[in-house]
């Protein structure tokens, strides 16, 4: 329905029925569109510079960043297990001799350990999609952090591979919650200019976790006892307790509160989040209600079934593919960089040092992306990133085929570092922003959950492929394994070009309208949506 200014009087006499299956006692609310002017005003007031937005919304920035810190834990352990495969103490305790005085983890166990937490996170993220709409973001995050404290005991005390496998599987359950909630929460409390920054900060936290892993493993690289790998496991306890103490005071998402019909709480939360903003909280609530009502024309409830129906299916496909594509653009080679370097023939000391530098470079690249995403479109950055990484991957494969000397190892390492840097500058952070923005507000938690589940599904097969392609007891492809990921990166580039839209500088209302109209992805940037249009 398009609402023009000269029909304002008629509009005020019309009722819009807003139904939410999660509203108190499933009450059907009737609201008057007299708040249209307030909704438009609140949306217009979101258009400002990034620095101005940071000054006006300090509390929103703080709480988004605090929730995103949960991602550090998943990134830490995700990199931990993969790089333990190159640690002599871990190999000696859990591996088998290979005939030259060294040990290797058997391929079947290497693949299983790499995938255990991924499978756990897949299950956790699906559970989260049911839990969050009922209890909200805050309670779901606090509950997952509390569960993490107890589950860490299992891998810490594990003495056999089966027990370690179970521990990794169970630890993955709360990690699934972190991924779905941090991204969706940041996108809902952010004003328009900060939406990209808040969501891409998840990638910064991911890099931080990997950097901590690389630093700790470098410190324990020459350890000969079981404490060389047990202490890195124990360090996971550093995060949950302080985060619980801080996030106990975090505000709930005002979008979730409005969907629940808790308007007074939503108004108080908006005042708290917007701090120095001059916007009237009632106007912000009007904007939220207007967006929710547009979406209710297409979907009545907030369930997994709804994200696969109507226009939402298109949004879900884009979100799922982009997260899955993180496994197909060179990321897995980077996550197993230490192991990649050692099986290629590099000395373990140099491999661990290079891995540490690799993660530091990616962290710098993610920091630079905070500047780029405010000036360059999400779609543009993503396409550049995929194209560049594909080029680097094919060069790694060519060098591996052409030469086996030590110089070739360092050339491959240089190209791999460039892959990691490019990922940190483009694909990694931009994925979080696009996924949060293409999903509808009402179905955001479910869409982000299923999208991240898509990442885990793709990761299971990709991890096995990576393990078999690199392990000397299996295919032993060394640098030639990069050809595999070059092929998948080409597929990602084609999908992105035709199906991924530009979401920069678009309000959630405008994105809803564009999707409802069926606008092709390549025309999202240029299609005009008037401020009084609702479809």
pLDDT in tens, 422-445: 888 888 888 888 888 888 777 777
Phi/psi of residue 31, nearest 5 degrees: -125, 145
Least confident of 58-72, 220-234, 302-316, 342-356: 342-356
Among 138-152, 178-192, 271-285, 329-343, which stretch is predicted with the lowest mean pLDDT? 329-343
Alpha helices in 95-160 (DSSP H): 107-151, 153-157
Residue 535: inside a domain: no
C-alpha span between 496 and 455 (Å, rounded): 16
The mean per-residue pLDDT over the stretch 256-278 comes to 83
Q: How many domains in the chain? A: 1
Judge whether 528 lies within some domain.
Answer: no
Q: Residues 172, 68: contact at Cβ < 8 Å?
A: no
Which span out of 81-85, 155-159, 284-288, 433-437 was modeled with the highest average pLDDT?
A: 155-159
> Is the confidence at residue 248, as pLDDT, over 90?
yes
Residue 45 within any structural domain of the chain: yes
pLDDT of residue 132: 84
- Given a cut of 50, whether residue 167 has pLDDT beyond it is yes
User: What residues have CB less than 8 Å from 402, skipping those under 6 apart?
Assistant: 408
What would the pLDDT profile of 449-504 be if each residue is shown by its tens digit?
Answer: 788 888 878 877 777 777 677 666 667 677 777 888 888 889 999 999 988 888 88
**Among candidates 404, 434, 410, which has minimal Cα distance to 316?**
434
**298 pLDDT exceeds 80?**
no
Check whether 285 has a pLDDT greater than 70: yes
pLDDT at position 344, please? 62
- Name the 3-class secondary structure at 208: helix
Which residue is listed with tokens 């003495």?
Answer: 159
Question: In sequence order, what DSSP letters do the residues of 446-504 get, joined into one string?
Answer: HHHHHHHHHHHHHHHHHHHHHHHHH-TTTT--GGGGHHHHHHHHHHHHHHHHHHPPP-T
189 assigned to some structural domain: yes
Q: What whole-number distance in Å separates Cα of residue 400 and Cα of residue 328?
A: 20
Q: Please, which pLDDT band fits residue 23 given cuts at 50, 70 and 90? A: very low
User: What are 428's two structure tokens?
Assistant: 């990694």
Higher-scoring residue by pLDDT: 41, 113: 113
Taking each continuous run of H as one helix and of E as one strand, the counts in the chain are 25, 4
Please tell me the predicted confidence (pLDDT) of residue 201: 81
Q: Would you state the pLDDT for residue 30?
A: 39
Of the ranges 117-121, 295-299, 489-493, 510-514, the best mean pLDDT one: 489-493
Mean pLDDT of the chain: 78
Distance CA 439, CA 427 (A): 18
At 27 the pLDDT is 34
Compute the distance between CA of residue 395 and CA of residue 411 in angstroms, rounded to an integer: 9
Q: Is pLDDT above 60 for 7? A: no
Question: What pLDDT band is residue 1 in, cutting at 50, 70 and 90?
Answer: very low
Query: What does each C-alpha distance from 4 to 463, 479, 534 come to in angstroms?
Result: 54, 61, 10
CB 169 within 8 A of CB 118: no
Distance CA 289, CA 259 (A): 8
User: What is the pTM assigned to this prediction?
Assistant: 0.69
Q: Can you give the CATH number for the domain in which 127 is found?
A: 1.20.1250.20
Provide the domain limits for residue 59. Answer: 5-523
Residue 9 has pLDDT above 60, yes or no: no
**Sequence-ordered list of residues with C-beta below 8 angstroms from that of 511, at least 6 positions apart, any chain:** 437, 438, 503
Query: Average of pLDDT values for 9-13?
Result: 36
Residue 43 lies in a domain: yes
Mean pLDDT on 370-381: 83
250 versus 360: which is more confidently predicted?
Answer: 250
- 129 located within any domain: yes
Q: Is the dihedral of CA 329, 330, 332, 334 positive or negative?
A: negative
Tokens for 336?
Answer: 């197993």
Considering only 241-255, 341-355, 518-532, which range has the smallest mean pLDDT?
341-355
Q: Is residue 176 part of a domain?
A: yes
**Residues 6+ positions from 57 with CB-CB distance below 8 Å:** 190, 191, 194, 273, 274, 275, 276, 277
Kindly state the average pLDDT of the residues 58-84.
Answer: 83
Buried b (16+ CB within 10 A) or exposed e, 40-51: bbbbebbebebe
- Supply the pLDDT for residue 261: 84
All residues at 6 or more sequence positions from 286 whose CB lies less than 8 Å from its CB, including other chains: 35, 36, 38, 39, 42
All residues at 6 or more sequence positions from 105 whose CB lies less than 8 Å from its CB, including other chains: 85, 90, 91, 94, 95, 96, 113
Radius of gyration of the chain (CA): 24
Residue 62 lies in a domain: yes
Structure tokens given for 145: 């952090």
Instruction: Give the per-residue pLDDT at 331.
Output: 65
């Amino acid at each position: 329905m398009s609402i023009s200014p000269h029909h304002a009087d008629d509009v005020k006499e019309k009722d819009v029925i807003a139904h939410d299956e999660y509203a108190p006692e499933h009450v059907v609310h009737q609201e008057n569109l007299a708040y249209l002017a307030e909704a438009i005003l609140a949306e217009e007031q979101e258009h400002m510079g990034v620095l101005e937005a940071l000054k006006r919304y300090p509390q929103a920035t703080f709480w988004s960043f605090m929730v995103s810190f949960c991602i550090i834990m998943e990134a830490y352990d995700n990199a931990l297990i993969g790089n333990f495969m190159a640690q002599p103490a871990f190999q000696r305790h859990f591996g088998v001799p290979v005939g030259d005085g060294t040990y290797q983890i058997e391929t079947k166990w290497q693949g299983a350990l790499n995938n255990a937490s991924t499978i756990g996170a897949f299950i956790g993220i699906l559970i989260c999609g049911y839990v969050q709409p009922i209890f909200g973001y805050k309670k779901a995050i606090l509950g997952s952090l509390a569960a993490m404290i107890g589950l860490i005991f299992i891998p810490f005390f594990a003495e056999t591979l089966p027990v370690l496998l179970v521990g990794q599987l169970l630890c993955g359950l709360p990690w699934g919650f972190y991924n779905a909630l941090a991204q969706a929460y940041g996108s809902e409390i952010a004003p328009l200019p900060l939406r990209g920054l808040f969501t891409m900060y998840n990638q910064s936290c991911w890099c931080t976790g990997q950097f901590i892993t690389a630093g700790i493993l470098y410190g324990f690289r020459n350890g000969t006892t079981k404490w060389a790998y047990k202490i890195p496991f124990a360090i996971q306890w550093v995060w949950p307790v302080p985060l619980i103490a801080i996030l106990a005071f975090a505000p709930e998402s005002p979008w979730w509160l409005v969907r629940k019909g808790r308007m007074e709480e939503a108004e108080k939360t908006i005042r708290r989040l917007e701090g120095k903003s001059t916007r009237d909280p009632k106007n912000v609530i009007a904007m939220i209600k207007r967006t929710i009502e547009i979406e209710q024309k297409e979907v009545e409830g907030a369930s997994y079934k709804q994200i696969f129906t109507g226009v939402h299916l298109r949004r879900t496909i884009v979100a799922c593919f982009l997260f899955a594509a993180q496994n197909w653009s060179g990321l897995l080679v980077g996550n197993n960089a230490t192991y990649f370097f050692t099986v290629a023939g590099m000395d373990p000391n140099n491999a661990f040092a290079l891995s540490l530098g690799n993660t530091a470079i990616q962290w710098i690249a993610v920091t630079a992306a905070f500047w780029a995403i405010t000036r360059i479109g999400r779609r543009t950055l993503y396409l550049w990133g995929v194209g560049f990484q594909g080029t680097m991957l094919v060069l790694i494969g060519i060098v591996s085929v052409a030469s086996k000397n030590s110089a070739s190892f360092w050339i491959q390492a240089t190209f791999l570092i460039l892959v990691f840097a490019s990922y940190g500058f483009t694909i990694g952070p931009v994925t979080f922003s696009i996924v949060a923005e293409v999903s509808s507000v009402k179905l955001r938690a479910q869409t982000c959950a299923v999208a991240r589940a898509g990442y885990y599904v793709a990761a299971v097969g990709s991890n096995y492929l990576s393990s078999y392609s690199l392990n000397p007891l299996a295919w032993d492809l060394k640098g030639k394994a990069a050809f595999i990921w070059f092929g998948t990166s080409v597929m990602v580039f084609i999908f992105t070009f035709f199906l991924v839209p530009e979401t920069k500088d678009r309000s959630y209302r405008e994105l809803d309208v564009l999707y409802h109209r069926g606008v092709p992805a390549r025309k999202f940037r240029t299609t005009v949506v008037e401020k009084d249009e609702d479809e």
